[in-house]
Structures are given as structure tokens and as C-alpha cells.
Amino acid sequence: MAAVAAATRWRLLLVLSAAGLRVTGAPQPPNILLLLMDDMGWGDLGVYGEPSRETPNLDRMAAEGMLFPNFYTANPLCSPSRAALLTGRLPIRSGFYTTNGHARNAYTPQEIVGGIPDSELLLPELLKEAGYTSKIVGKWHLGHRPQFHPLKHGFDEWFGSPNCHFGPYDNKARPNIPVYRDREMVGRFYEEFPINLKTGEANLTQIYLQEALDFVKRQQAAHRPFFLYWAIDATHAPVYASRPFLGTSRRGRYGDAVREIDDGVGRILHLLRDLSIAENTFVFFTSDNGAALISAPRQGGSNGPFLCGKQTTFEGGMREPAIAWWPGHIPAGQVSHQLGNIMDLFTTSLSLAGLAPPRDRAIDGLDLLPTVLQGRLTDRPIFYYRGNTLMAVTLGQYKAHLWTWTNSWEEFRQGVDFCPGQNVSGVTTHSQEERTKLPLVFHLGRDPGERYPLSIASTEYLDALRWITPVVRQHQEALVPGQPQLNVCNRAVMNWAPPGCEKLGKCLTPPESVPEKCSWPH
């Protein structure tokens, strides 16, 4: 209750200050750290049951804070989920989808023409109203072109890349992915920032960690509230770790990457305590989508008991590890069964800052402060989108699949498998199966692995459908999709000669090319 009262007090003080009334002794709003992992699965942490128990710092973070077993992303792929986090909106509202194919996943490769629209209001832009300084460390993934740069969308600082560490490329047909410090390119992956694909050695996690630590120290010294978005990508294939962590995990190279991340989180939380700002810093840890089972077991993680993984709208693709930590405010050792979503981090962060969400647009994220501070539960649906298609919805413990699909038979026969070892007849289909009239319904409490659909003749099925159907209808009738941003590709927009490349002597000439429809995997 004291924490809620404090939050209310600083919101009131912000309102009075905005009205021009002098307020003495106004408390500083809490710092906000969002730690977003890449392709990390629900089952990758010891606290979620991973048997090797190699994440002591994250397990301790959960013991000191609140664990969310039922936390979801807004899309089973990287770019749309990150757009959702920073806008508080489903990706279909912000245009982070494609219409080049029904239910096709899409993201922002180098040749993509689109990105985050100027019309979208991102979290760091809004936090400026409360005096926050914001930094992104790591992967942006919301567009490569200059108008999509994170410093044009509210961030004050950036160290990282517009994409994942794919490569290496030949710098002829395709350049290596650039790395930026703010607006200046400071190198490229596999060149100034080496990644050894054979051994898995790279120092990127250590570099990203030092960027985070330095930023926190500077903002604390300046007595400014800060927002740090630590979006690192070591657990995305090709996975990597620095030399001290290579070969230390029972889980192989992927486990090495997880152990290094765990160590980094521990060092960040230790610094907050050392600087005596832990009680004024809200920290949330989660992942952008489920583990990429297509890369497992050597290059991918675990989704625990859940079905399938990244790219799918089964639980393994959408349910994420999630931990909230705020000493002195969040009671230790709590587990919340609130249905949470990555979009909630937008609304919750604004609430922490004493700000209201924008009222001129639909906001899908909930304010989780009543949950983390008082243990309240709020009924809400979870919508599972894949591209432009609503595939499923969860309400309470019931999940209704309106469409089922893993990937195409063509891809599957070529060895591309999003659900290895998990074939469930009539559920993990390789053709797009519409079930809008008679959805497949699962009780996720009894059947978290989505293996036993309810009988359509049962009273339970009919009751669940009566509950879910009006929610789906209302959502679809009110939905206004944004202009699709992920339809058009053009190799001419790849990052060949960004600002600062002259200094590196690596300004390259793009090949002649014309815009075309992006060809997305099935």
C-alpha cells in the first residue's frame, strides 16, 4: 500500500508541476530497467525448472521479487514483439506485419523498406515528459533507414545494432550489419566486433554490460531518472559467449550464453544496490518470443512443457519467462498468475513515471503496478497474432485456436521444423487450418502442452466458447490495422554507407535494385 501511495503522490506532484505550481521536495520517479532477451525460452531459467540450475542471479531476482508464469509476448517473432513493447500496442495496429501472405511472420532484415512509423508514440518519447534520460543497448530491430533511428524516436543514447548479428556477409551483395554509438557507425559485426562462428566466442555481452553499467552510473551521479532498455541478443542463433563462459555450461554453447547473461544481470542488480538506488529502480526481465526450437539443441533454448516454439502461436512461441524486481516495493518471493503481456511494460512504465497512456489511440498494455504491488488480478484476453491473422485467444485458462499452422509442408520436408519431436495430430498442422467456426479449445491449467483439445460436444467446450466468442468479435470489429510496414524490400536501402563509415574506410556501393515484395519464410 505504501508503494501505491508513493506512486500516486509523485503523479500528483507531476501534475502540479506541469500546471506551473511550485512544489518543494518532489520525489524523483523510479528508474526503469527493461531487460529484454532474444529467443530465450520459458524453460531456460532455474526458477522455471531448468534442471541444470545455472541461473543463480535470475533465480535470486525472482526470489526477491515477483515471478510471472503466465506472461506472453505480442508476436512469436522479434521485430513485431519489440514494436509492441515500445508502443504498448499490438503489432497489427502499428503496421508491424505483412500482407504478402496470410498469417506470414515478418521482421526487419537489411533490405526492408519500412520501420516504426512516426505516428507511433514510443515509450522513451513519452518518458521525456517526466524528465527521464533513455538509452537502448543492443538490438533495435524497428527499421534500418535514417527515419527509423532510435534517437529519432525518443532515445537519448544508443549502443548496438539495427538488426541481429547475422552474417558474416561478403560486403558485395550484402554488407555486414553495422554497430552504432548514437548516430555514428563504429563498426560492423564480424569485423570491428568479431564473432567466431566455429568456437562461439564473442565479447558482445560484456560490451553491452559495460554500456549498461556506465549509463547507470552517469545518470545516478547526475540525479536524473533514467530508462534503460537492455536488448541483448546472445541467445539468438548463432549464439555466442565470451571466453570465460565458453564451455562452462552443461547445456552446451547456448547454456554458456545464458550463464553469461545471468552473470550480467547479477552485476547490474549489484550495482543498483551499491549506488543505493535499488529501492528507486523498477527492473523487469523477459524475452521477445519463445525459444527457437529450429536451432535447438545446440543453438536454441527450452520452452519447458509448452508446445512448439518461435514463429508459432502455440504456447512455446508466445509464453515467456518474466520477473519483476523492485526492493522495498514488490514483496519478495511472490508468484502472480496474472495474464501478462510484453505490451504491459509500456503502460506500467508510464504509470511508474506518473504519466497516463496516450488517449488518441488504442493501447493494449495493462498497468501491472496493482499486480506487482498489491497482488491484484485483472481479467483480460491474450491475443495471439501471426502476421495479419488472429490465430488464437486465451481468456482465463481457456485457449481457443481460430487457426492452426506451424510451417508449410515444403519447408518441413526440407528440414525446417518449428516443433521438433512434438507432432500433435490435428494441432501442429503444416497447412493453414481455419477453425473460426469450431475452434480448438484447450484448458491450459490441465493441459499446458496443448495436446488434448476439449470435446466439441462437452458442456465445458460450449461454456468456454460462449465466454470467448464475444471477446473475439468485439476485438475484430473495433480493430483498425496500421499501414503494413513489412511488405516491401529493396536492396538499395541496405546500410552500405552510414554516417561515420568514411572514418572506417568502408563506404560501399549498393547494387542496383528495385523494390519488390518481401519473400518471407512459410
What is the pLDDT at residue 305? 98
Annotation says 141 is catalytic: yes
- In this structure, the strands spanning 323-325 and 66-67 are antiparallel
Tell me if residue 319 falls in helix, strand or coil: strand
What average pLDDT does range 245-265 have in this prediction? 98
Q: How far is CA 360 from CA 121, 153, 356, 357, 366, in A?
A: 11, 18, 12, 9, 16
Grid cell, residue 469, equals 466468442
Instruction: Report whether 471 contacts 382 (CB < 8 A).
Output: no
38 labeled binding residue = yes
What is the pLDDT at residue 9? 54
Q: What is the mean pLDDT of the chain?
A: 92
Annotation says 144 is catalytic: no
pLDDT tens readout for residues 92-122: 999 999 999 999 999 999 999 999 999 999 9
What is the pLDDT at residue 456? 97
pLDDT tens readout for residues 168-207: 999 888 999 999 999 999 999 999 999 999 999 999 999 9
31 labeled binding residue = no
- In this structure, the strands spanning 340-341 and 71-72 are parallel
Tell me if residue 294 falls in helix, strand or coil: helix
507 labeled binding residue = no
Buried b / exposed e over 169-181, threshold 16 CB at 10 Å, is beeeebbbbbbbe
> How many degrees, rounded to 5, is the angle at CA 259 between CA 258 and CA 265?
90
Set 141, 236, 430, 522: catalytic member: 141
39 labeled binding residue = yes
pLDDT tens readout for residues 46-67: 999 999 999 999 999 999 999 9
Q: How far is CA 91 from CA 84, 292, 316, 416, in A?
A: 6, 20, 19, 25
What is the pLDDT at residue 67? 98
pLDDT tens readout for residues 306-356: 999 999 999 999 999 999 999 999 999 999 999 999 999 999 999 999 999
Give the predicted TM-score (pTM) of the model: 0.94
pLDDT band for position 22 (cuts 50, 70, 90): very low
Tell me if residue 304 falls in helix, strand or coil: coil
Set 78, 164, 489, 518: catalytic member: 78
What average pLDDT does range 33-49 have in this prediction? 98
Grid cell, residue 400, equals 481457443
DSSP notation for 408-433: -HHHHHTT--SSTT---TTTS-SS-E
Grid cell, residue 512, equals 542496383
Alpha-helix runs per DSSP H in 110-226:
123-127, 204-222
Report the alpha-carbon distance of residue 282 to residue 348 in Å, rounded.
Answer: 10
Between the CA atoms of 123, 125, 129 and 132, what dihedral angle is there, to the nearest 10 degrees? 70
What is the pLDDT at residue 173? 86
289 labeled binding residue = yes
pLDDT band for position 8 (cuts 50, 70, 90): low
pLDDT tens readout for residues 77-96: 999 999 999 999 999 999 99
Report the alpha-carbon distance of residue 284 to residue 292 in Å, rounded.
Answer: 22
What is the pLDDT at residue 492? 86
> Of 327, 404, 342, 413, which Cα lies nearest the Cα of 373?
327
Grid cell, residue 343, equals 505490451
Which residue would you say has higher pLDDT here, 15 or 400?
A: 400
Cis before 453? omega within 30: no
Tell me if residue 157 falls in helix, strand or coil: strand
- For residue 37, what are the β-bridge partners? 287
Q: What's CA 384's distance to the chain center, in Å?
A: 14
